[in-house]
Amino acid sequence: MASSGQVEPNQHGLAGRLRAAALALPGAWEDSPWDGDTVAKVGDKIFVFLGAESVGVKSATSRQEADEWLLRYPHDASALAYIGRHGWNSLRLGGAIGEDELLEAIETSYEIVVAGLPRSRRPH
């Protein structure tokens, strides 16, 4: 594993695969709402923050449920600043969280966000 600040050799490939998977979900599209931040949205709602070193996902509908990630991966998962109290976590790439779990986390985030959209704005 790389030490703090270093990038795992395959990390950029992983970030690209996660981005592609997120954007392949029905109705997903890429946006850059703030300088330097790339996100995937469904409707007008963000469902994943896409970074080179981490992804930000809505892990659950409550902070208590989202904390399960922090307990399982104390070195690789953390509550996102400002929105963490709403169930959003940052999951580090290149650490103990496997690619399959990261993909599942993105899909879960997508499903939670879609469920919160008005029916008329949900992807078909």
pLDDT in tens, 1-47: 333 344 444 556 999 999 999 999 999 999 999 888 899 999 999 99
d(CA 85, CA 47): 15
d(CA 118, CA 123): 10
Whether the predicted model's global pTM rises above the 0.75 cut: yes
All structural domains of the chain:
11-117 (3.90.1150.30)
pLDDT in tens, 34-90: 888 899 999 999 999 999 999 999 999 889 999 999 999 999 999 999 899 899 999
* pLDDT grade for 107, boundaries at 50, 70 and 90: very high
